[in-house]
Structure 1
């Protein structure tokens, strides 16, 4: 129930719909009971014409309320019909039909208003989850599979709507229907109603025992759904590699194993769930059967109950079965929803370790330098950087080179605060980046990565991510600087051409130039290039290198490079090995030292 309370917090903005639902549910429950009670005078007109009441009855107090109401309706029917019994019958039938009509109108209105609440909560949970996913640090998604996160925001949230929020429909309507029905049943026969209550707890205990393990089974189903969605996501992302290595059958087997487990868990869950309906049905009919025996005895033998009241009573007793079954079904839904809510709330309540401090300042300009002081960092167990120091002055281009795993990209991740340092500090103009708001910190920086991250949208919109409200002229100018304008205008729809999922309609060089155009449009004072030319062919590299040099002019740049030809003109080249600086200087200085840098250059057949 703790999860249920947390989910209900999302219903607060829609509480007016909740109150309207409750109001109409109260009316529905009342008319649901009255519609069966109205059968008594109709049956009296049909079967006991000799009992007509010709004088208006006198009200003698609450204890005689049932007899008074029955006699009063009888009197009104008799007065209306006169000597024509069919007129009386038509009147009573009309009364019953009106009551049933009102009952169903109120039921529709109750469901109409709860729909806004249910779908509003669904929308808000999904919006909050998406915002949380975007806000969480990159490290969170190194631990969680993407497919599992997708399952939580889709099927788990939908399960909450089908289970927890369905309970909102029942929480007032069904219990009130039972209460009003039981009150009228007590009014007809106290003795018979007390007899019914002997069997209800027994039925409740049996149904409760069936559903005890539902949450556990539901948890398994939802986890397995996240598993096979992850496999689908990985398959679509790596389809080229899967086909190249003829691994289709291997991945199919992995997927098949997951869906087989999902099949077993789902069967177990649904079979337990499906057992509830026939069990509840049988127990309900059992109660009806016992009522027929006991009530029939009261009518035929004891003569303490009249036949019309008994028939109406049986209708009321059956009227309890539907809400009782709905409540039973809802209890299973809560158990299933519990597992889904737990998974959703796990994401929503995840703490983001990389957050703005209380006194975080907004920094809109860059004046002096970036200083990395005694920084140590590890992703898991082993340190990638240890006591690392580096200073980049304004206007300088500093290149980081070294073998894979030496810590180059880690420095870019730390400066942009995708990760936080374990020890030490990173300063911009003397201010610790932890004391600068993340938004303004990243606003100072442009990022071009090795993997061109593009979106399934137009060329125009992909470049426009660099600057909110950018004009077409600014976008075209940025594309020209990135040497991308010529190929863009040759596309089928120019700047309005959709580039496909991850930009897969473009070549690697074209994708990279769009990424650079996006960074050019942003026009930040600090540029971080993380192996920005490594994916390019020689011709594209020449085009992009010209663009990069234009972009880096009069700008502070931190360049991470594998291709050493791209950093020859850097103000300072820092050679890394296992997270430590082993050499530092200009290209010419490092070539003269004949140490690690020169070996790297020679390995790439670079002629100085």
Structure 2
């Protein structure tokens, strides 16, 4: 129930729908009990047992409520029909139709209002999850499979709606229906009602034993669903490689194994779940059979109960079966919903270690420079950077070079605060970046990465990500700086052309120039280029390099370079090896020193 309470917190904004649902459920439950009690006068008319009552009866205490009801109904029948039994029958039938009509109207209204609450909670949980996913650090998702996260925001949230939130429909209506029905049953026969309720706890114990393993089984089903969604996501991302290496059968086998496990777990879960309904129904009919035997004795042998009251009593007993089955089914729903809620709440309650400090500074200007002071950082066990020191003065370009794994991209991740340093500090204008709000820190920076991250949208909207409410003129100007305007105008719909999933309708160079245009439009004082030209051919590289040089004018830039030919004009080149600086200087200075940098340049020149 702890998970249920946490999910119910989302119902706060929709409480008015909850109250309206409760109000109409109370009316539904009341009319449900009365509609069966109204069978008594109709049956009395049919069996010719109606007593002529010519004066209105008086209520003499709660114990005489049944007699008062019977006398009052007989008085109304007498007043309306006189000596014509058909008129009395029409009155009794009319009363029953009236009660059943309003019972169903109230049921509809209760369901109508709870729908807004259920779907509102579903919407808000999904919105909160998406907000959390965007807020959580990149490191969180390096440990999670994307497909599993997608499963949580889709099927798990839907499971919460089907299981947890369906209980909201039952939480008032069914218990009240049972309560009002039991009150009427007690009024008809105390002895028979006590006898019935000896059997109900026994039935409840048997049903509860069936549901004990449902949460565990449901959890396995949902985890396996996340597993095969991850396989689908990876397959779509790497389809070109899978086909190139003829690995279709290998991936199909992995997917087939996952769906086979899902098949097995789902069968086990559903078979256990499906056992609840027939078991509950049989136990209900068993109670019903015992009730017929015991009540029949009271009518036929003891004469302590009249036939019309007994038949109505049987209708009331049947009226308990439906809500009792619904409550039983809902208890299984809670167990299934628990597993889904646990997975959803795991994300919602995950702590983001990269938080804004209290009273974090909103920094909008950049005046002096960036300093990395004695920083050390590790992703897992081994340090990637050790006691690393670097100064980047305003307006200067600093290039980071070195072999793969030397820590170049890590510097970019730390300056943008995608990760926090383990030791030391990073300063911008002398202020620790942990004291600057993340939004304003990243507002000072533009990022162009090796992999051009584009979205399934138009060219215009992809560039416009760089600036809110950007005008068409600003977007075109940014594209021209990035050497992208010409190829954009050759596209079928120009700037309104959809570029496909991840920009797959464009070449690598075109995608990279759109990424640069986006950064140009943002117009930040600090630019971080993470191997921006490493994946391009010579012609594309020349166009992109030209665009980068135009963009970097009068800006402070940190350039992570794979191709050394692109950084020869940098104010300072820093050579990294295993997380430490081994050389630093201009291109000319490092070439004269004839150490590691010169060897790297010669190796690249030789290979090219």
Normalization by structure 1: what TM-score?
A: 0.99
Single out whichever of 96-105 and 62-71 deviates more from structure 2.
Answer: 62-71
1 CA distance for matches of 2:54 and 2:306? Answer: 20
Provide the residue aligned with 1:197 in structure 2.
197
Which one is further off, 304-313 or 598-607? 598-607
User: Could you tell me how far apart the structure 1 residues matched to 2:431 and 2:102 are?
Assistant: 70
SS in 2 for 1:199: helix
**2:459 matched residue in structure 1:** 459
Cα deviation, residue 542, structure 1: 0.9
Root-mean-square deviation (Å): 1.1
Q: Partner residue of 1:242?
A: 242
1 CA distance for matches of 2:59 and 2:349?
Answer: 61
Distance 2:513 2:457 in 1: 16
CA separation in 2, counterparts of 1:78 and 1:393? 103
CA contact under 8 A between 1:377 and 1:422: conserved in structure 2?
Answer: yes
Stretch moving more, 133-142 or 51-60: 51-60
Cα distance in 1 for partners of 2:281, 2:225 equals: 32
- For 1:42, the equivalent position in structure 2 comes to 42
Superimposed CA distance per residue, residues 323-378 of structure 1 (whole angstroms, 9 cap, x where no aligned partner): 00000000000011011111100000000000100021010011001000000000
- Residue aligning to 1:434: 434
The equivalent of 1:112 in structure 2 is 112
Is the CA contact (8 Å cut-off) linking 2:448 and 2:530 kept in structure 1?
yes
Q: Which residue of 1 aligns with 2:140?
A: 140
The CA deviation string for residues 36-61 of structure 1, in whole angstroms up to 9 with x for no partner, is 00000000011025633333333332
The residue that corresponds to 1:382 in the other structure is 382
Q: Which residue of 2 aligns with 1:268?
A: 268
1:121-168, CA deviations, whole angstroms, 9 ceiling, x for partnerless residues?
000000000000000000000001110100110111111111111111
Q: Is the 8 A contact 1:174 1:324 kept in 2?
A: yes
For 1:62 and 1:447, how far apart are their aligned partners in 2? 79
Shift of 1:511: 0.3
Q: Kindly tell me: are residues 607 and 346 of structure 1, through their superposed partners in 2, closer, same or farther at Cα, counting changes over 3 Å? A: closer
Checking the alignment, whether the CA contact within 8 Å between 1:565 and 1:606 is kept in structure 2 is: no
Name the counterpart of 1:70: 70
Cα displacement string for residues 80-127 of structure 1 (whole angstroms, at most 9, x for unaligned residues): 012322111111101100100000000000000000000000000000
- 1:569 Cα deviation from its structure 2 partner: 0.5
**Tell me, what secondary structure is at the counterpart of 2:316?**
helix
Q: Residue 41 of structure 2 contacts residue 50 of structure 2 at CA under 8 Å; is this kept in 1? A: no
Post-superposition CA distance 1:438-497 (Å, at most 9, x none): 000000000000000000000000000000010000000000000000000000000000
Q: Show the counterpart of 1:564.
A: 564
Match of 1:85? 85
In the alignment, the residues of structure 2 paired with residue 209 and residue 290 of structure 1 have an alpha-carbon distance, to the nearest angstrom, of 23
> 1-side partners of 2:473 and 2:569: how far apart?
31
Q: Which residue of 1 aligns with 2:480?
A: 480
User: Which deviates more from structure 2 when the two are superposed, residues 52-61 or residues 551-560?
Assistant: 52-61
Aligned match of 1:365:
365
SS at match of 1:337: helix
Whole-Å Cα distance in 2 between the matches of residues 422 and 459 of structure 1? 39
Please list, as runs of the form range in 1=range in 2, the aligned pairs for 1:81-480 lying within 5 A after superposition.
81-480=81-480
> Structure 2 regions of 5+ residues with no counterpart?
none
Residue 30 of structure 1 corresponds to: 30
Tell me which stretches of 4 or more aligned residues in structure 1 moved more than 3 Å: none
Q: Could you list the per-position Cα deviations for residues 543-597 of structure 1 after superposition, in whole angstroms to 9, with x for gaps in the alignment?
A: 1111111111111000001011110100000011101111111111111111111
Whole-angstrom distance in 2 between the partners of 1:505 and 1:235:
19
CA distance in 2, matches of 1:536, 1:464: 24
Q: Take 2:197 and 2:8, find their aligned partners in 1: how far apart are those partners?
A: 32
> What SS is found at the alignment partner of 2:575?
strand
Question: Aligned partners of 1:368, 1:134: CA distance in 2, in Å?
Answer: 31
Question: In the alignment, which residue of structure 1 is the partner of 2:537?
Answer: 537
SS of 2:275's partner is helix
Q: Are residues 607 and 568 of structure 1, via their aligned partners in 2, closer, same or farther at CA, if it must alter by over 3 Å? A: farther
- Distance in structure 2 (CA, Å) of the matches to 1:53 and 1:43: 17
Q: Where in structure 2 are the equivalents of 1:576-595 lying within 5 Å? A: 576-595=576-595
Structure 1 gaps of 5+ residues are: none
- Aligned equivalents of 1:558, 1:51: Cα separation in 2: 100
**What TM-score does the superposition give when structure 2 sets the normalisation length?**
0.99
Matches within 5 A, 1:488-499: 488-499=488-499
The question of whether the paired residues in 2 share the 8 Å contact of 1:224 and 1:262 is answered with: yes
Mapped to 1, the partners of 2:261 and 2:61 lie a distance apart of 66
2:550 corresponds in structure 1 to 550
Tell me what 1:500 maps to: 500
Is 2:20 aligned against 1:3? no
What CA distance in whole angstroms lies between the structure 2 residues aligned with 1:540 and 1:147? 34
What do residues 407-458 of structure 1 show as CA deviations (whole Å, max 9, x unaligned)? 0000000000000000000000000000000000000000000000000000
* Contact 2:44–2:50 (8 Å) recurs in 1: no
For the 8 Å contact 2:50–2:74, the answer to whether it is kept is: no
1:184 aligns to what SS in structure 2? helix
Number of the residue aligned with 2:12: 12
